[in-house]
């Protein structure tokens, strides 16, 4: 019984930190409709800043508790101001952009903050020295429980109460709730949106900073804090219901308790457990515990998907020329160039598979790397346990990924918008966690090595041709699907679900089919990649890999069928270029993402098409 109580209290104290972060995220999302990826970075900054500020205070006035409190609050305020700075310089320019662009822009900020933190504080973990009062224990039912954790457990409910008062008893709070529903209308009633948004960003970011500062004594400031917390925070926000602070509180309790007991009872699957809880909640309540179906964020004037026209002939010729140049590379280029070209072919298919869902399907997957990775692991596991040769492995890869595409897709296609994106991210994290934690089967962090091609394809040149045939062939097939009755049905379901169902289309099944096809195609790309590298690792499934795919599609332009191809080539070129050029490649990549989002909101191909159509006076939709 004691064990239950202690674990329960541990859960409560973890829930508080989680709630602080998630409530900030959910408030920001509610009002600005921005899913702020950089929220985890604010949490991390809170910890680092508290480490610096609290230590400075202690050096000056001794290790007094009140100076710790002051330092934590100061860290929160500074993080709040950083949040406001980001809102004013970056987000203010892209409030009208599609939500995915906003997400990517904030991911660019994640990368920049990572490198900035590394430059300022260095790569080492930074623990806060703990004076005796921070290390004190109290007796609970005969067990020793850290007093600090008990204090943390109380902070969550206190913050919840304060937020409730803020939102129901102050004019600022009422305006925030109104703006959560319809910010344009709030502006038309004389409320300055900019101030409101900055205020909300300050509040949300400061909450994240406070969370980071408060966990510092029990953890330590480190560079992995941002992405590890953001996935959990997303889960809490989605489980609680996007935009609902009370929901975030309940969800953080649920998740933290599941973790607290899971770590004792089912230590092998703790990472998976959290996401399983999320999937279970969303099955019963698709919009989270206290969420409501999102009134589809009021489309700012006239944002309509354009009609699709087959590519002009000249584009086809250019594509053919590019393909011929790539295929002839063995005769004029070196080994490194061939490696790059193989990767390029893989990423073209990877991006095209995501595009099928995002473009015609209108389904934004935030965890597409899962299927890439499943394809790679499908081939590798086939080799390890069934001794499958490469030929069979390349068949197994899309089947394995496609199978999971169906399994996950069944849940995913019931949702829409941000919920859907978050659920795909959650599934990707499950797959990642499984490959990472299930060491006996997957080799964990060490991956699976020795995944080499069959003898006939061992030569790099031959493998390039094989990769081109499979990946470019696959991409062309996906293109064909887009223009088929199936592809039109998919677009119909995206354009107007109401009308689609009213003419007998089973929209959920259409989306599921698209999801499975996209997963299988990504799996094929992953399989080809595995044999090219000779190994597979959990990083194939990581969040940055999923973001890679999104960037390729968006860079190219989601509204054109050619977009993902152009995007994959441009992105990979950028990546290879930056990676070789600078030590701070994350910051450089982050900056590039931000600039691209600001400069090419339609993507490269979308931009080119717009010019093309303008020049010819074609009627735009």
Partner 1 sequence: MSAPVLEAVSLEKRFGGVHAVAGVSFRVAAGEMLALIGPNGAGKSTCFNLVNGQLRADGGEVRLGGQSLAGLRPRAIWRLGVGRTFQITATFASMTVRENVQMALISHRRMLWSFLARATDQFRAEAEALLAQVGMAEQAGRPCGVLAYGDLKRLELAIALANDPKLLLMDEPTAGMAPKERTALMDLTRGIVRARGLACLFTEHDMDVVFGQADRIIVMNRGRLIAEGTADQVRNDPAVREVYLGSGATSGGH
Partner 2 sequence: MLSVSRLNAFYGRAHILHDVSLEAASGEVLVLLGRNGAGKSTTMKSIIGIVRPGAGSSVTFAGAEMAGRPPHEIARAGLGYVPEERRIFTDLTVMENLEVGRQAPREGLAPWTPERLFAIFPNLGRMRDRPGGRMSGGEQQMLTIARTLMGNPRLILLDEPSEGLAPVIVEEMANAIRQLKQEGLAVVLSEQNLHFAARVADRAVIIEKGTVRWQGTLATLEDEPEVKAQYLSV
Burial (0-12, 13-18, 19+ Cβ within 10 Å), 271:
buried
The total number of residues shown for the chain amounts to 621
Q: Is 414 in the site for partner 2 (CB under 8 A)?
A: no
Please state the closest distance from residue 307 (CB atom) to partner 1, in A. Answer: 5
Q: Is 187 in the site for partner 2 (CB under 8 A)?
A: yes
Please state the closest distance from residue 562 (CB atom) to partner 2, in A. Answer: 21
Tokens of 553: 């599609």
Nearest to 509 by CA among 361, 296, 404: 361
Among 135, 194, 506, 579, binds partner 1 (CB under 8 A): 506
Q: With left for phi above 0 and alpha for psi between -120 and 50, is residue 257 left, alpha or beta?
A: alpha
Of the pair 45, 605, the CB lying nearest partner 1 is at 605
Q: Is 505 in the site for partner 1 (CB under 8 A)?
A: yes
Tokens of 137: 């224990």
- Give the count of beta carbons closer than 10 Å to the beta carbon of residue 220: 15
Q: Is 351 in the site for partner 2 (CB under 8 A)?
A: no
State the Cα–Cα distance between residues 112 and 87, nearest whole angstrom: 15
Site string for partner 1, 298-317 (x = CB under 8 A): ------xxxxx---------
Of the pair 304, 314, the CB lying nearest partner 1 is at 304
Among 116, 150, 155, 191, binds partner 2 (CB under 8 A): 191
Contact region with partner 2 (CB under 8 A), list: 184-192, 324-332, 491-499, 582-590: 184-192
Binding partner of residue 499 among partner 1, partner 2, none, CB cut-off 5 to 8 Å per kind: partner 1
Contact region with partner 2 (CB under 8 A), list: 64-72, 174-182, 230-238, 355-363: 174-182
User: Hunting for tokens 């698709």 — which residue is that?
Assistant: 286
Of the pair 82, 492, the CB lying nearest partner 1 is at 492
Q: Is 174 in the site for partner 2 (CB under 8 A)?
A: yes
State the Cα–Cα distance between residues 68 and 57, nearest whole angstrom: 8
Which 367-386 positions form the footprint of partner 1 (CB under 8 A)? none
Site string for partner 2, 290-329 (x = CB under 8 A): -----------xx---------------------------
Q: Which residues contact 348 (CB under 8 A, 6 or more apart)?
A: 471, 472, 475, 564, 565, 568, 569
Q: Is 218 in the site for partner 2 (CB under 8 A)?
A: no
Of the pair 116, 187, the CB lying nearest partner 2 is at 187
Q: Is 295 in the site for partner 1 (CB under 8 A)?
A: no
Among 1, 139, 142, 188, binds partner 2 (CB under 8 A): 188
Of the pair 92, 130, the CB lying nearest partner 2 is at 92
State the Cα–Cα distance between residues 223 and 229, nearest whole angstrom: 11
Binding partner of residue 178 among partner 1, partner 2, none, CB cut-off 5 to 8 Å per kind: partner 2
- Rounded to the nearest 5 percent, the helix, strand and coil shares of the chain are 75, 0, 20
State the Cα–Cα distance between residues 177 and 171, nearest whole angstrom: 10
- CB distance 536 to 530 below 8 Å: yes
Q: Which residues contact 20 (CB under 8 A, 6 or more apart)?
A: 155, 156, 159, 207, 208, 210, 211, 214
Q: Is 619 in the site for partner 1 (CB under 8 A)?
A: yes
- CB distance 593 to 578 below 8 Å: no
User: Hunting for tokens 């660019």 — which residue is that?
Assistant: 108
Residues contributing to the site for partner 2 (CB under 8 A): 171, 174-175, 177-178, 180-182, 184-193, 301-302, 614, 620
Query: What does the binding site for partner 1 look like in residue numbers (CB under 8 A)?
Result: 304-308, 480-481, 483-489, 491-492, 494-496, 498-506, 510, 619-621
């Amino acid at each position: 019984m004691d064990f239950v109580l202690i674990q329960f209290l541990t859960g409560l104290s973890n829930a508080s930190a989680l709630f602080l972060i998630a409530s900030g995220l959910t408030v920001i999302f509610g009002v600005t409709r921005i899913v702020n990826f950089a929220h985890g970075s604010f949490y991390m900054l809170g910890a680092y800043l508290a480490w610096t500020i609290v230590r400075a205070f202690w050096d000056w006035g001794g290790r007094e508790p009140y100076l710790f409190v002051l330092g934590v609050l100061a860290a929160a305020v500074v993080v709040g101001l950083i949040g406001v700075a980001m809102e004013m310089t970056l987000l203010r320019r892209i409030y009208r952009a599609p939500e995915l662009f906003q997400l990517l822009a904030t991911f660019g900020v994640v990368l920049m903050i990572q490198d900035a933190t590394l430059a300022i504080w260095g790569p080492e973990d930074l623990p806060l020295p703990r004076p005796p009062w921070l290390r004190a224990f109290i007796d609970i039912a005969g067990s020793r429980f850290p007093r600090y954790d008990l204090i943390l457990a109380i902070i969550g409910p206190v913050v919840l109460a304060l937020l409730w008062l803020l939102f129901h008893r102050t004019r600022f709070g009422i305006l925030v709730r109104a703006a959560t529903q319809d910010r344009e209308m709030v502006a038309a009633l004389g409320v300055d949106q900019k101030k409101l948004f900055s205020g909300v960003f300050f509040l949300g970011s400061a909450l994240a900073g406070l969370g980071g500062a408060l966990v510092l004594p029990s953890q330590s400031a480190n560079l992995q804090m941002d992405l590890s917390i953001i996935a959990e925070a997303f889960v809490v926000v989605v489980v609680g219901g996007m935009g609902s602070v009370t929901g975030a509180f309940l969800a953080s309790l649920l998740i933290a308790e599941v973790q607290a007991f899971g770590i004792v009872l089912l230590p092998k699957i703790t990472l998976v457990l959290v996401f399983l809880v999320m999937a279970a909640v969303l099955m019963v309540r698709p919009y989270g515990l206290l969420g409501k179906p999102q009134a589809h964020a009021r489309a700012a004037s006239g944002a309509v998907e354009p009609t699709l026209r087959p590519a002009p002939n000249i584009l086809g010729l250019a594509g053919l020329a590019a393909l011929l140049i790539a295929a002839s590379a063995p005769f004029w280029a070196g080994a490194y160039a061939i490696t790059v070209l193989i990767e390029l072919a893989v990423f073209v298919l990877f991006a095209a598979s995501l595009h099928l869902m995002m473009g015609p399907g209108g389904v934004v997957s935030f965890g597409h790397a899962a299927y890439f990775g499943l394809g790679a692991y499908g081939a590798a596991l086939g080799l390890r346990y069934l001794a499958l040769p490469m030929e069979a492995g390349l068949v197994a890869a899309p089947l394995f990924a496609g199978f999971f595409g169906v399994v996950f897709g069944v849940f995913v296609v019931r949702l829409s918008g941000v919920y859907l994106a978050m659920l795909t991210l959650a599934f990707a994290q499950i797959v990642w966690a499984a490959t990472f934690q299930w060491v006996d089967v997957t080799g964990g962090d060490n991956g699976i090595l020795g995944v080499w091609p069959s003898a006939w394809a061992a030569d790099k040149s031959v493998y390039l041709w094989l990769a081109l045939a499979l990946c470019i062939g696959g991409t062309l097939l996906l293109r064909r699907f887009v223009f088929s009755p199936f592809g039109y049905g998919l677009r119909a379901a995206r354009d107007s679900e109401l009308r689609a169902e009213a003419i007998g289309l089973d929209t959920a099944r259409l989306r599921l089919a698209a999801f499975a096809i996209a997963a299988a195609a990504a799996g094929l790309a992953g399989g080809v990649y595995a044999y090219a590298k000779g190994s597979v690792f959990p990083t194939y499934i990581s969040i940055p890999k999923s973001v890679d795919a999104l960037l390729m599609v968006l860079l190219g332009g989601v509204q054109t069928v050619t977009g993902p191809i152009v995007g994959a080539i441009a992105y990979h070129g950028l990546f290879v270029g930056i990676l070789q050029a600078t030590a701070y490649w994350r910051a450089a990549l982050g900056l590039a993402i931000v600039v691209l989002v600001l400069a090419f909101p339609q993507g490269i191909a979308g931009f080119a098409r717009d010019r093309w159509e303008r020049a010819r006076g074609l009627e735009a939709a």
